[in-house]
Amino acid sequence: MTDAGADAADGTEPAAAAESGTQISATSVADAVDDLSGEGLSGYNYAYLDEHTKREVRRAILKGIAIPGHQVPFASRPMPLARGWGTGGIQASLSLLGPDDAFKVIDQGSDESVNAANVRRLAETTAEVETTTDTTEADVIQTRHRIPEEVLDEDQILVLQVPITDALRKVDSSDAANRRRHAHANYGKMWVHLYENVVEWGEIQIAARYPAMVAGRYLMDPSPIPRWDLPKLDDADNLFVFAAGREARIYAVPPHTDVEPLAFEDKSFQVERFPDQSCHSCGSTDTYLTEIETEEGTESDGGDRLYVCNDTSFCLKRQDDPGLAKDHHLDREGVDWGPGTPGGPAGADRDELAEGDGGDDA
């Protein structure tokens, strides 16, 4: 769109504009989007989905909450983006959202990815919600592959986008066989997989999608969140809704529900370790860090190894106030939320999780 003027000057009409009959005179993408929004949305129901679809999604969400960890099938609708790009999350979010809500969308911890920005804008234009990047101000948060660093409270709902709904998929590709395994809580094959992992690597080497037992009954794929985030699902104050558009399944973890990562007595579950690293931007040592490329490239290219917080909105807050606690917005003490802060009140927890007794001796 940005180049529309330039193309026209060359005497060649931009094909898209000519065919659709909508000539816009914007000079930037943002202006173009502003020009078009509103126009194309007339005739759509509140929150984009029709009410029949919402009823279907809502029934699935409620059954999901009533049977924690069980994957409830639902009729996933075509959405204005391709399946696999968060369509399940969008359907769940749009079924939940009302005009009084503040909505936040993150993609791998970032509010500013193109996909997150577009999902946020869809909700803003169709559901008339306020949008925010502040975790503590959001009523509903849709996320891809992360749980925010700041503690969620009981009034918040986290909607996780799920690419693969079944933890057993990696040990058996048959959905029918895996559904029978879930029916009888027969998870032997996953235990064998973990055992083989330990034999091969000396510790359980599962980077993301770490399988966890929910309320002692269902084995759940927590979506590709890092292991770092998995402890946050256990005994949380908020509701988690997992939605997969491509696989047409919804499942949930209610507040105060046991979520236990699979592990052995002598090979414990471990979160990611970032020894002696801190965020390059805010200095945090108690957040999930991701490696970034410097001008010299990554470490393997001979550059420096630099880490930054993956949760960008919390990183920005920490840049203003380096001592900000993850539960700074709550009026109670000792909130347990993921790995603790080293040197902080819950520091012991983190050391235990990080060092554990699995792997180091292998």
Partner 1 sequence: MRALGIDPVHDTQTAFRALCDATSRPGTVADVGSSPADHAILATLVDHEVRTWTDDGELRSALESQGRFDPIEPAEADLLHTHGQPDWDVRECSHGSLVEPSEGATVVYRVDGLETGPDSALTTVELIGPGVDGTRRLSADLPASELERLREAQSTYPRGVDAYLTSGEYVAAIPRSNDLEVV
How far from chain centre, in Å, is Cα 320?
Answer: 25
Write each residue from 187 to 216 as x if it is in contact with partner 1 (CB under 8 A), else as -, in one continuous string. ----------------------------x-
Q: What distance, in Å, lies between the first and last C-alpha atoms of the chain?
A: 57
Q: Which of 2, 29, 37, 179 binds partner 1 (CB under 8 A)?
A: 179
Identity of residue 240: F
Query: In this chain, which stretch among 20-28, 254-262, 334-342, 352-360 interacts with partner 1, using CB under 8 A?
Result: 254-262
Nearest one of 206, 254, 255 to 227, comparing CA atoms? 206
Task: Determine if 62 is a binding residue for partner 1 (CB under 8 A).
Answer: yes
Closest CA to 272 of 229, 336, 335: 229
Sign (positive/negative) of CA torsion 71, 75, 79, 82?
positive
Asked whether position 96 contacts partner 1 by CB under 8 A, the answer is yes
The site string for partner 1 over 255-284 (x = CB under 8 A, - otherwise) reads: xxxx--------------------------
Q: Which of 31, 63, 268, 298 binds partner 1 (CB under 8 A)?
A: 63
Element (H, E) at 306: strand 306-309
The order of strands in the sheet holding 239-244 is: 72-73, 249-253, 239-244, 157-161, 140-144, 102-107, 130-131
H or E element, residue 198 = helix 188-201
Contact 266, 86 (CB under 8 A): no
Minimum CB–partner distance for residue 178 and partner 1 (Å):
10
DSSP 148: -
Whichever of 131 and 294 has its CB closer to partner 1, that residue is 131
Q: How many helices (H) and strands (E) does the chain have?
A: 10, 12
Of 76, 87, 91, 95, the one binding partner 1 by CB under 8 A: 95
> C-beta of 280: minimal distance to partner 1 in Å?
38
Binding piece for partner 1, criterion CB under 8 A, among 8-16, 39-47, 116-124, 271-279: 39-47
91 binds partner 1 (CB under 8 A): no
Alpha carbons 138 and 129: distance in angstroms, whole number: 11
CB of 183 to partner 1, least distance (A): 4
Question: What residues are annotated to the active site?
Answer: 69, 279, 282, 309, 315
84 lines the binding site for partner 1 (CB under 8 A): no
How far apart (Å, rounded) are the C-alpha atoms in residues 141 and 346? 26
Half-sphere exposure for 234 (CA within 13 Å, toward CB): 17
Give which of 217, 311, 210 is closest to 269, Cα–Cα: 210
Which listed residue (33, 59, 113, 324) binds partner 1 by CB under 8 A?
Answer: 59
C-beta of 231: minimal distance to partner 1 in Å? 17
60 touches partner 1 by CB under 8 A: yes
Q: Is 328 in the site for partner 1 (CB under 8 A)?
A: no
CB 290 → partner 1: shortest distance, Å?
31
Among positions 145-174, residues that touch partner 1 (CB under 8 A) are: 154, 157
Residues of this chain that interact with partner 1 (CB under 8 A) are 45-47, 51-52, 54-56, 58-68, 70, 72-73, 95-99, 154, 157, 179-180, 182-184, 215, 217-218, 235, 239, 254-258
